[in-house]
């Protein structure tokens, strides 16, 4: 069976992480994704001198790459011609930027009524924050991530990964795919927009629940549950690092207690339910810390898994990029590094699996303008003479 988005043509004007990952997922789903960059390259290319940083290679596989100078009138005209042949165009420039250039949705929909135009931004197109400049860090700060991450006493900290960028990207993918489905019913394209700020709010379920319940929960709870409503739920120190342990169901708690040799706790009223144990988090954690004294990660997690207790060691990036499970799931694709450093880049695969089609073969991210001539000839039937003229005019 063909991949889900076979024969869908997408112009990817995305940049940095939100745009890069959105286009990557769409490419893995089978779309012909053409990454459109300015002649000097998109923003993330500036993270090293040669314009081929690992981040770019990591997030732009399976795309074709072209360059267009949208500051030139001829470049704007070229984008319009390509949009007439495309199914989707998406970008994550500042709200209103493409309209200022004269190539926003209102312009392009007149050229192609079936075009789906998707825009990702920090705060969305409407509302009092819509014109605020935004990056992952600022959205993390505004959205509540930083105020709920870290321990109570030190300053708030951001989440390690660029969570706002990637939440924004995957919601943009969902919007694009939904619009494609709806176009099958209506024959018309539409405008899709996603604000990263909006995508974070649903993740605050636990701290918001504490606020609704008017419980005395600190804004930051370290590695404990963010609503302090589950115990045990923590990262516990062992001889060679830390392990995480969580008991969601009563059977988990009962198994853990037996494993620790503390069966007498099963008869203690104050620890007899999840909510009651949450009221005595310090006591519960104390029993576990005593049990873990002198133990190591591998032994602890093996025993807990055999007992059916949810757990995991706290692992390093070095362990993740060599992980056998990710390898077997097709999530680690070792492609030649185009820049300095290690020999290869462990490029992510597609997390979504389909019974009816194979996982995509992962190919290296395009070099800057690598496919410009190929795409213009294929989409617009341009010949070498015309393409050379555009090059001489610095349009491409």
- Asked if 76 contacts 33 with a C-beta cutoff of 8 angstroms, the reply is no
Q: What is the pLDDT of residue 215?
A: 83
> Distance between CA atoms of 26 and 33, rounded to whole angstroms?
7
Is 90 exceeded by the pLDDT of residue 242?
yes
pLDDT at 214: 87
Q: Indicate the length of the chain as a whole number.
A: 396
Give the closest residue to 181 by CA, choosing from 63, 361, 59, 29: 29
If one counts every other C-beta atom within 10 angstroms of the C-beta of residue 188, the result is 13
For residue 142, the tally of other CB atoms under 10 A from its CB is 19
- Angle 189-360-121 from CA coordinates, rounded to 5°: 45
Compute the C-alpha angle 142/144/146, nearest 5°.
90
Q: Catalytic residue among 87, 136, 165, 198, which?
A: 165
Q: What is the DSSP string of 155-192?
A: PP---SS-HHHHHHHHHHHHHHHHHHHHHHHHS---EE
> What pLDDT, on a 0 to 100 scale, did the predictor assign at position 107?
98
In sequence order, which ranges of the chain are alpha helices (DSSP H)? 16-28, 54-59, 73-85, 97-101, 105-111, 136-143, 163-186, 196-200, 205-213, 250-259, 274-278, 281-292, 297-306, 317-320, 324-328, 372-380, 384-392
pLDDT digits (tens, 9 = 90+) for 3-20: 999 999 999 999 999 999
Q: Tell me, what's the pLDDT at 154?
A: 87
User: How far apart, in whole angstroms, are the C-alpha atoms of residue 191 and residue 113?
Assistant: 11
In whole angstroms, what is the distance from residue 28 CA to residue 168 CA?
Answer: 18
pLDDT at residue 167 tops 90:
yes
Quick one: pLDDT at residue 281? 95
Residue 104 has what pLDDT? 98
Distance of CA 20 to the CA centre of its chain: 9
List of long-range contacts for 103-112, beta carbons under 8 Å, 24+ apart:
103/70, 103/76, 103/79, 105/191, 107/80, 108/80, 108/83, 109/189, 109/191, 111/80, 111/83, 111/84, 112/83, 112/84, 112/85, 112/86, 112/189
The span from the CA of 145 to the CA of 137, in Å, is 10
- pLDDT tens string 56-97: 999 999 999 999 999 999 999 999 999 999 999 999 999 999
Residues 309, 236 contacting (CB under 8 angstroms): no
Q: What are phi and psi of 387, to 5 degrees?
A: -65, -40
Instruction: Mark 17-45 as b/e (b = at least 16 C-beta within 10 Å).
Output: bbbbbbbbbbbbbbbbbbbbbbbebbebb
Residue 218 has pLDDT above 80, yes or no: no
Give me 19's structure tokens. Answer: 């745009």
Compute CA 304 distance to the chain's CA centroid, rounded to the nearest angstrom. 31
Q: What is the dihedral angle through the alpha carbons of 359, 365, 370, 375, rounded to the nearest 10 degrees? A: 40
Q: What is the mean pLDDT of the chain?
A: 96
Q: Rounded to whole angstroms, how far apart are CA atoms 211 and 297?
A: 35
Residue 210 and residue 227 in contact, taking contact as beta carbons nearer than 8 Å: yes
Q: Give 246-295 pLDDT, tens digit per residue.
A: 999 999 999 999 999 999 999 999 999 999 999 999 999 999 999 999 99
Looking at residue 338, its pLDDT comes to 98
Ramachandran category for residue 232: left, alpha or beta (phi over 0 → left; psi -120 to 50 → alpha): beta
Confidence of residue 128 (pLDDT cuts 50, 70, 90): very high
- Residue 165 is a catalytic residue: yes
Is residue 28 a contact partner of residue 358, using CB atoms and an 8 Å limit? Answer: no
Q: Cis peptide before 232, with omega less than 30 degrees from 0?
A: yes
Q: What is the mean pLDDT of residues 212-235?
A: 89
Distance of CA 134 to the CA centre of its chain: 16
């Amino acid at each position: 069976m063909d991949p889900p988005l076979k024969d869908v043509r997408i112009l990817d004007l995305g940049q940095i992480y939100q745009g890069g990952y959105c286009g990557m997922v769409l490419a893995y789903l089978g779309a012909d994704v053409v990454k459109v960059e300015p002649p000097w390259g998109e923003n993330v290319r500036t993270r090293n001198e040669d314009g081929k940083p690992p981040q770019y290679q990591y997030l732009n596989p399976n795309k074709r790459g072209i360059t267009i100078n949208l500051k030139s009138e001829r470049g704007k005209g070229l984008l319009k011609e390509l949009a007439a042949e495309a199914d989707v165009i998406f970008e994550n420039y500042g709200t209103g930027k493409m309209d200022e250039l004269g190539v926003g949705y209102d312009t392009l929909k007149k050229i192609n009524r079936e075009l789906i135009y998707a825009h990702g931004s920090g705060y969305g197109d409407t509302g009092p924050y819509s014109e605020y400049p935004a990056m992952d860090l600022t959205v993390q700060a505004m959205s509540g991530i930083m105020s709920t991450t870290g321990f109570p006493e030190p300053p708030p900290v951001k989440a390690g990964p660029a969570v706002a960028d990637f939440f924004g990207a995957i919601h943009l993918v969902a919007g694009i795919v939904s619009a494609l489905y709806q176009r099958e019913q209506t024959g018309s394209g539409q405008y899709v927009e996603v604000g990263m700020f909006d995508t974070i709010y649903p993740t605050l379920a636990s701290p918001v629940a504490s606020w609704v319940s008017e419980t005395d929960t600190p804004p930051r709870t370290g590695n404990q549950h963010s609503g302090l409503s589950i115990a045990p739920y923590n990262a516990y120190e062992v001889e060679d690092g830390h392990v995480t342990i969580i008991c969601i169901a009563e059977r988990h708690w009962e198994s853990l207690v037996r494993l620790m040799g503390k069966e007498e706790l099963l008869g203690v009223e104050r620890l007899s339910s999840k909510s009651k144990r949450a009221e005595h988090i310090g006591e519960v954690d104390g029993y576990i810390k005593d049990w873990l004294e002198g133990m190591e990660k591998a032994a602890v997690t093996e025993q807990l898994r055999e007992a059916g207790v949810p757990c995991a060691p706290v692992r390093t990036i070095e362990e993740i990029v060599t992980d056998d499970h990710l390898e077997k799931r097709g999530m680690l694709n070792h492609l030649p590094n185009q820049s300095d450093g290690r020999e290869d880049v462990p490029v992510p695969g597609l997390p979504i699996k389909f019974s009816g089609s194979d996982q995509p073969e992962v190919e290296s991210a395009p070099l800057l303008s690598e496919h410009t001539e190929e795409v213009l000839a294929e989409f617009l039937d341009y010949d070498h003479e015309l393409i050379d003229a555009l090059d001489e005019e610095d349009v491409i």
